[in-house]
Chain A
């Protein structure tokens, strides 16, 4: 009984587990036997060059794609067997700004809150709170079609988090943002982590990963090629920053034709 409790406690503490996760698209192996574990409350960075398999991995974890081989669980639920349960736990900030241009910012946020079956009161409170934190309160009544690129990205992020998810997947949330907006989003992500949220962040900005992430996994050609905290990786590869580590790893693979 004591052993059982130990296992259950362990399961609760682990937010995301992938085991030999593989995804093939015909001849292309997008994700290649990826095994990672993300702890509850951890901010985990998934790094890699374009086409490395980051978004495919997130799509599998969100239940959008079925793996070819291996397994994955999110919040203790198998993504293939219980995708509905997984979707109740997560919030997904997609790489593209997937917003309805004919709806106002608030209407977009409230639509996705309704899709998560939130009560009106809770939805309004969360929407107000998030819009204020990301500086969109004034513009919330305007149609998103009139927004600037940076504003669209911020509303995109709010739409992902309005349901107050336990686990958030943020796929390049700050891409194409100006430095001010990017730092505002960083502060926001740090705030989420302080609330105990589990966050999986993909990014091209090594500075962002270094600043925010507890641990990072670097993947290339679908394979996990490095895993650890930014500090551990810097030490291991004798690098001054994470960008040097990244170039060393991914560049070497290109040079060696792996």
Chain B
């Protein structure tokens, strides 16, 4: 694995979290 497999959509992340029974890592980065 060369990099973290970031998602950018909360709906998808929530669905995957429930399906795979894994906690979600939500990172906010500077948008400016």
Co-assembled chains A and B: no
Q: Interface of A with B (CB < 8 Å)?
A: none
Residues of chain B at the chain A interface (Cβ within 8 Å): none
